Amino acid sequence: MTTSYIKRPCKTPLFGLCVMYPSPGVIERIGPNWDWIWIDAQHGDLDYRETVTLIRAANLIGKPVLVRPPGQDTGWISRVLDAGAAGVIVPMIESLEEAKAMIQAAKFPPEGNRSYGGRRIIDLLGRTYYKTANRDTVLILQLESDDAVAKAEQLAALEGVDGLFLGPDDLLIRSGQEVETPKNPETIGRQNKAVADACQKYEKLGAGIGVAGPMMQMAKDYGFDLIVGGGDVPFLVGGSKKSADEIRAFFADSTQSNDAVGPSTLY
């Protein structure tokens, strides 16, 4: 078992699974359906130890892991990279200064100032892992306001930044809109395209959400490399509600036969 990395350049889009619950079984069971795993330690129900357990599970199935730390926490960044993550998605980047601080945490000299000596990464790859770490692992900055998007080109141009990711929910809220506002070309298309164009100009990874029709179309039209296609939460909620609705409808309708619902697999 070894760590897996995001191969660059991406010849075709890579589709990711978002994980927010501390269940390595979820990654083992449905992770193989996806190209990469996004572990969301910012908004997910996860602490550091649980995050490392999920990284181990993803390593077991040979899928690269990108971790979103709780914030611009340099300790978290270096520790999850030391634990075998393929990279980090750092939230709420607003300035070049913040971006440069993240480069210092995520990259070894001369690009940054990441500390050497991660226990797990040495166990897996040996003591010379640092020689290729800057190339192997990725630092992706998440832009979540119009002010941040306006700096997309400057951020993408920075040596040590490997990609940009648009955060649509915070973007809507910070622009005075409701989070339930439809996410389509009319509401966030300009920002999505600005991020994608900046990444293509500087040959960096463009990342985005593609979990619904308009979002999926934008991700395709703008040429994103990393596309989040689903998550443990919506899969759990959606599957549960569908089954609950089916069984209630069956028992409420006395005319249905026992062939009307199913068969359905439990495992």
Q: How far is CA 31 from the centre of its chain?
A: 13
CA separation for the pair 117, 188 (Å, rounded): 42
**Is pLDDT above 70 for 8?**
yes
pLDDT given at position 253: 81
Q: Which two tokens stand for residue 227?
A: 């596309």
Residue 179 sits in which domain range?
14-252
State the Rg of the chain over Cα: 20
Is 259 a member of any domain?
A: no
Is 20 a member of any domain?
A: yes
Q: Averaged over 145-172, what is the pLDDT?
A: 97
Burial 179-189 (b: 16+ CB within 10 A, else e): eeeebeeebbb
Q: Is 8:205 a contact under the CB 8 Å cutoff?
A: yes
Is residue 43 annotated as part of the catalytic site, yes or no? yes
At 10, the pLDDT band (50, 70, 90 cuts) reads: confident
Is 264 a member of any domain?
A: no
**CATH code for position 23:** 3.20.20.60
**Is pLDDT above 70 for 32?**
yes
**Cβ-count burial of 82 within 10 angstroms (0-12 exposed, 13-18 middle, 19+ buried)?**
buried
- pLDDT, tens digit, for every residue of 39-84? 999 999 999 999 999 999 999 999 999 999 999 999 999 999 999 9
pLDDT given at position 267: 63
pLDDT given at position 75: 95
- pLDDT, tens digit, for every residue of 79-137? 999 999 999 999 999 999 999 999 999 999 999 999 999 999 999 999 999 999 999 99
Contacts 24+ apart (CB under 8 A), 168-171: 168/209, 168/215, 170/92, 170/144, 170/145, 171/143, 171/144, 171/145, 171/146
- pLDDT, tens digit, for every residue of 229-263? 999 999 999 999 999 999 999 999 877 666 655 55
Is 217 a member of any domain?
A: yes
pLDDT given at position 256: 66
Is 2 a member of any domain?
A: no
Out of 1, 33, 43, 60, pick the active-site residue.
43
* pTM (2 d.p.): 0.93
Is 59 a member of any domain?
A: yes
Is 45 a member of any domain?
A: yes
- Total number of domains in the chain: 1
**Is pLDDT above 60 for 198?**
yes
Is 267 a member of any domain?
A: no
